[in-house]
Amino acid sequence: MFIDKIRIYLKAGNGGNGAVSFRREKYVAKGGPDGGDGGRGGDIIFTVDEGANTLLAFRYKRKFIAENGGDGEGSKFHGKDGGDVVVKVPRGTLIKDAESGLVIHDMSDGDDFTVCRGGRGGWGNKHFATPTRQIPRFAKSGMPGEEKDVVLELKMIADVGLVGLPSAGKSSLLAAVSAARPKVAEYHFTTLEPSLGVVSTGGESGFVMADIPGLIEGASEGAGLGHDFLRHIERCRMIVQVVDVAGTEGRSPVEDLETISEELEKFSPDIASRPRLIAANKADLLASGADEFSLIPDVYEGAKELEEAAAAHGWEVVYISAAKKENTRELVARIARMLEDLPPVLTYEAEIVDDPEKSTASPDDVTVTKDGNVFTVEGEWARLLVDRVNFEDRESLMYFETSLNKAGVIDKLREAGCAEGDTVSMYGVEFDFVE
């Protein structure tokens, strides 16, 4: 089974909580606070698996959750950092935001990419000791890890895309010029998934060729298999269109040429405009009176018509027999010459720019809503503040009030109409507003 598009859920680990602890040791007076910091949550990291060419591994596993950071402990012991989760994907996989469809990252460069970052660990109470607050009975909670629903979309990386109607000989051609062994048989839709092959041009030179299955009339609108697989030629630098020049399926080679061209144009004008070479396959069935494939236009009227139709688009025709591997070397040589003058394989720029320094909880995101005489404060920053305050400790309450002032939350309450004696509610905690 070939899977090239799938939705998954990612959740980085939460940061561990800071500890509230005091040094208690015999013969050591006034040991002071020694609560350690929480550990950092694990990240979700994507890496390229060179041996994979499908997203089948995600069929039964669609949730990836990293380990939370450990809580801090006394004696200034730091909590353990959470373990990362490494997600392996084929080269060429696009990571997209599930809701907007925007590209987060293109896994075509081979580098690892962190999609979700683990939350920072909270500070222990050792950080909050001051000359006037020598016994802080509060610590910071760990920050939550990032979470995302993403869509993985595989767009194969190939220099050359083979397109053509069923039984034109695309799989036979790929097998003839590379070490790939796609299934070859005499019935339509033999190929049910794209295949890649590396074509050598001598020495260490070569290019990657992709066999794209299932193109028929209406493919751009979902007919046949083409709608699912046309995305795999979006990166190709050029197109080789394979045409059954002998008409063994009862089709006209010229009609075959135009049918595929129209479907490519409907799917993507950009793809349709890329450099193209026409591989006139099964030419051996026409060459009974000729010794060289180049003579075919002189001995077969259908070949002349194909030449004229291709010339109208500015495309060159190369006659081959993929089954007998005749003239395939000349085809490879012409492809290699064309590739020399073409730009590199397409890569997709990120459409969502992530700022790793941006906090997942900001006072700017805090909102104040009024319901009667009760003013409700909401926001991730406010929730985390409440979590790390000991409301039974006077110094902790002073820290709470100072934090609200510095963050501008008190000003937001005033702007919302909060006055002396009104009730303020924050995540289960209620207090009277005092000017």
Distance of CA 333 to the CA centre of its chain: 35
pLDDT, tens only, 63-75: 999 999 999 999 8
Q: Comparing C-alpha atoms, which of 323, 328, 160, 335 is closest to residue 246? A: 323
Q: Comparing C-alpha atoms, which of 144, 36, 47 is closest to residue 89? A: 47
pLDDT, tens only, 4-50: 789 999 999 999 999 989 888 777 767 789 999 999 999 999 999 98
pLDDT, tens only, 74-106: 988 999 999 999 999 988 899 999 999 999 999
Task: Report the C-alpha gap between 339 and 66 in whole angstroms.
Answer: 43
The reported pLDDT for the residue numbered 392 is 73
Task: Report the C-alpha gap between 160 and 261 in whole angstroms.
Answer: 16
Task: Report the C-alpha gap between 233 and 195 in whole angstroms.
Answer: 12
CA neighbours closer than 13 Å in the CB half-sphere of residue 278: 26
The reported pLDDT for the residue numbered 155 is 84
pLDDT greater than 50 at residue 385 = yes
pLDDT greater than 60 at residue 1 = no
The reported pLDDT for the residue numbered 352 is 79
The reported pLDDT for the residue numbered 196 is 79
304 band by pLDDT with thresholds 50, 70 and 90: confident
Beta-ladder partners of 371: 374
State how beta strands 147-154 and 93-97 pair: antiparallel
State how beta strands 147-154 and 5-11 pair: antiparallel
What topology does CATH give the domain 363-432?
GMP Synthetase; Chain A, domain 3 (3.30.300)
pLDDT, tens only, 103-142: 999 998 889 999 999 998 988 988 888 777 778 888 888 8
Query: Is domain 1-154 annotated with CATH 2.70.210.12?
Result: yes
CA neighbours closer than 13 Å in the CB half-sphere of residue 216: 10
The average confidence (pLDDT) of the chain is: 84
| Amino acid at the residue 308 | E
pLDDT, tens only, 146-170: 999 999 998 878 899 898 888 888 8
Domains of the chain, residue spans:
1-154, 160-340, 363-432
Q: Comparing C-alpha atoms, which of 329, 317, 345 is closest to residue 208? A: 345
189 band by pLDDT with thresholds 50, 70 and 90: very low
* Domain covering 160-340 in this structure, CATH number: 3.40.50.300
The reported pLDDT for the residue numbered 131 is 78
Buried/exposed 104-123: b ≥16 CB within 10 Å, e otherwise: bbbbbeeeebbbbbbbbbbb
* Section 267-284 average pLDDT: 89
User: CA 161, 167, 173 angle in degrees (round to 5)?
Assistant: 45
293 band by pLDDT with thresholds 50, 70 and 90: low
pLDDT greater than 70 at residue 190 = no
* Section 312-331 average pLDDT: 91
Task: Report the C-alpha gap between 344 and 82 in whole angstroms.
Answer: 39
296 band by pLDDT with thresholds 50, 70 and 90: low
- Do 1-154 and 363-432 agree at the fold level? no
pLDDT greater than 90 at residue 247 = no
- Can you give the pTM of this predicted structure? 0.72
